[in-house]
A and B are shown apart, each in its own frame.
Chain A
Amino acid sequence: MTRPTLRVALIGNPNCGKSTLFNALTGRRQKVANFPGVTVEWVEGSYVHEGTTVSVLDLPGTYSLSPDAPDEVITYDVVHGRAAGLDPVDVFVVVLDAENLERNLYLATEVLELGRPTVVVLNRIDRLPAAEMKVDVVELIHALGAIVVPSVATTQEGLDRVRHCIARAPDVPPSDLRASGAITDGQNAERRYEWISAVMARTVTRTGTRGTRSSDRVDAVLLHRVWGPLIFVAVMAIAFQALFLVATPLASLLQLGLGALSNVLRGVLPAGDFQSLLIDGVLGGVGSVIVFVPQIALLFLFIGALEDSGYLSRAAFVMDRFMRPLGLQGKSFIPLLSGYACAVPAIMATRTIPQTKERLATIMVVPLMSCSARLPVYTLLISAFVPAVTIGYVLTLQGLALLAMYIFGTVAALAAAAVFRRTLLRSDTRALIIEMPAYAKPTMRVLLTTVWQRVAVFLQRAGTVIFAISVLLWAMGHYPRATIDAQIANADAPTQQEAQLAQSALGQVGHAVEPLVRPLGLDWKIGVAMVASFAAREVFVSTMATMYGVPQHETVHTELAARLRDARAPGTGRPTYTRAAAFGLLAFYVFALMCTSTIAVTVRETGGGWQGARWAALQFSYMLVLAWGSAFVVYRIALALGAG
Chain B
Amino acid sequence: MLDAALCAPSCTLAACFAGDRATVRQLHCTKADAMRLRTLGVYEGASVGIVDRRNGVLLDVCGSRLALDATMAGAIVVDPTPA
Contacts and interface: CB of A to CB of B under 8 A. Distances in A.
Interface of A: 63-64, 66, 68, 99-103, 106, 131, 189-190, 193, 212, 215-216, 219-220, 223-225, 228, 313, 317-318, 320-321, 324, 329-330, 354, 430-436, 438
Interface residues of B, number: 33
Interface in B24-39: 29-30, 32-33, 35-39
A329 B43 CA distance: 23
B71 A103 contact: no
A435 B33 contact: no
A102 B43 CA distance: 14
Interface of B: 29-30, 32-33, 35-41, 43-46, 51-52, 54-56, 58, 61-69, 71-72, 75
A329 B71 CA distance: 12
B41 A103 contact: yes
A201 to B, nearest CB: 13
Contacts of A438: 65
Given A103-B63, A219-B52, A224-B55, A435 B40 contact: yes
Given A215-B65, A431-B29, A228 B40 contact: no
Nearest to A320: B69
Nearest to B66: A435
Nearest to A428: B30
For B46, B55, B58, the residue with the greatest tally of chain A CB atoms inside 10 Å of its CB is B55
Contact of B72 (A212, A313, A432): A432
Contacts of A63: 36, 39-40
A231 B70 CA distance: 21
B55 A318 contact: yes
Contacts of B71: 431
Contact of B67 (A106, A216, A436): A436
Contacts of B44: 190
Contacts of A224: 54-55
B38 A432 contact: no
A330 B61 contact: no
A215 B52 CA distance: 12
Contact of A432 (B35, B52, B65, B67): B67
Given A68-B36, A330-B69, A432 B64 contact: no
A189 B33 contact: no
B72 to A, nearest CB: 4
B56 A354 contact: no
Contacts of A131: 63
A320 B56 contact: yes
A189 B29 CA distance: 16
A216 B45 contact: no
A288 to B, nearest CB: 45
B55 A225 contact: yes
A224 B41 CA distance: 25
Given A193-B46, A320-B69, A103 B62 contact: yes
A291 to B, nearest CB: 42
